[in-house]
């Protein structure tokens, strides 16, 4: 695995690859890698000849008071994991490499960036879009792979690509889960032993809500019930049942549905979702 810190060196290497008609896939990460990230790598390897994994803890997507400084970092472990999967390139840029001209506070992502997680983290998706666009400019990938756990982020990146007419195909991988159902996340490392046990209740309640909707129960009451039950164990930021295609309110003919939620457990913020197809619509 080749490791690059400088943009110019990475681009020189990739130019040679592309001149030999090799397809390139990018997997952007902030490190703290786990099996969920490795599934993104596996997808990327199935799509392209050269896989680039980037590790950059992006300051523009953290608001004041969030866990930027304490975000889990273990480069040695991350590099070892990527080595076991025969990743071609690891890109570990500095802030100056990503933002040589400084950062922008007004990088606009549209209305979707203002709802759900965006309502609680006002500049988060602006920062995500800013760093992803910069990585696309550097790597010029044919494909880029993201996890469906960050579903709102996935839709915003797809919208970014469409709006800017970028020549990159956005691919996704289903949420990877622990044995007890908890969605794999770097932030799970922050959970205490007691809270880690409790965290599995998050996905369990979302699953019960999905079953209730599939049984024909009214979505309004299913949501209220799930919100009440989640609130017993967690501080709930939001829980919504929406159109999975665009995160808008469900109409009578909406088939693709997402149950999407964010909670806090101790000092740790967790997100999760379930996407499913409603029958008989």
186-275: CATH topology is 3.30.1300
Give the tens place of pLDDT for each residue, 45-73. 999 999 999 999 998 898 776 777 777 78
Q: How confident is the model at residue 106 (pLDDT cuts 50, 70, 90)?
A: low
Global confidence as pTM: 0.95
Q: In what order do the strands lie in the sheet with 89-91?
A: 2-4, 89-91, 50-55, 24-29, 143-147, 169-173
CA proximity to 247, closest of 119, 66, 63: 119
Q: Which long-range CB contacts under 8 A does 191-199 form with residues at least 24 apart?
A: 191/265, 191/266, 191/268, 192/266, 195/265, 195/266, 195/268, 198/233, 198/265, 199/265, 199/270
Query: Which residues are part of the catalytic machinery?
Result: 37
For residue 89, how many other CB atoms are within 10 A of its CB? 21
CA proximity to 259, closest of 187, 191, 176, 202: 202
Element (H, E) at 141: none
What pLDDT, on a 0 to 100 scale, did the predictor assign at position 70?
Answer: 73
Give the tens place of pLDDT for each residue, 111-125. 999 999 999 998 899
For residue 195, how many other CB atoms are within 10 A of its CB? 17
pLDDT beyond 90 at 26: yes
CATH class of 2-173: alpha beta
Domain locations in the chain as residue ranges: 2-173, 186-275
What pLDDT, on a 0 to 100 scale, did the predictor assign at position 281?
Answer: 67
């Amino acid at each position: 695995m080749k490791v690059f810190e400088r943009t110019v060196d990475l681009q020189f290497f990739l130019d040679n690859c592309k001149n030999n008609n090799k397809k390139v896939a990018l997997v952007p990460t902030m490190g703290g890698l786990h099996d969920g990230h490795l599934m993104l790598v596996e997808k990327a390897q199935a799509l392209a000849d050269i896989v680039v994994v980037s590790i950059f803890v992006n300051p523009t997507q953290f608001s004041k008071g969030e866990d930027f400084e304490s975000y889990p970092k273990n480069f040695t472990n991350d590099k070892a994991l990527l080595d076991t999967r025969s990743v071609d390139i690891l890109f570990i840029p500095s802030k100056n490499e990503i933002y040589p001209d400084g950062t922008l506070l007004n990088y606009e992502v549209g209305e979707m960036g203002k709802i759900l997680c965006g309502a609680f983290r006002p500049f988060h998706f602006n920062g995500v879009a800013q760093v992803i666009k910069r990585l696309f400019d550097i790597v010029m990938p044919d494909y880029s792979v993201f996890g469906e756990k960050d579903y709102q982020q996935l839709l915003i990146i797809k919208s970014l690509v469409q709006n800017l007419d970028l020549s990159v195909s956005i691919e996704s991988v289903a949420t990877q889960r622990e044995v007890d159902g908890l969605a794999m996340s770097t932030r799970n490392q922050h959970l205490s032993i007691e809270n880690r046990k409790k965290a599995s209740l998050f996905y369990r309640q979302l699953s019960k809500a999905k079953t209730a909707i599939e049984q024909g129960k009214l979505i309004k009451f299913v949501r209220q019930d799930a919100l009440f039950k989640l609130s017993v164990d967690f501080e709930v930021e939001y829980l919504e049942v929406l159109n999975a295609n665009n995160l808008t309110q469900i109409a009578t003919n909406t088939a693709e549905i997402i149950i999407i939620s964010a909670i806090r457990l101790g000092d740790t913020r967790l997100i999760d979702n379930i996407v499913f197809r409603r029958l008989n619509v």
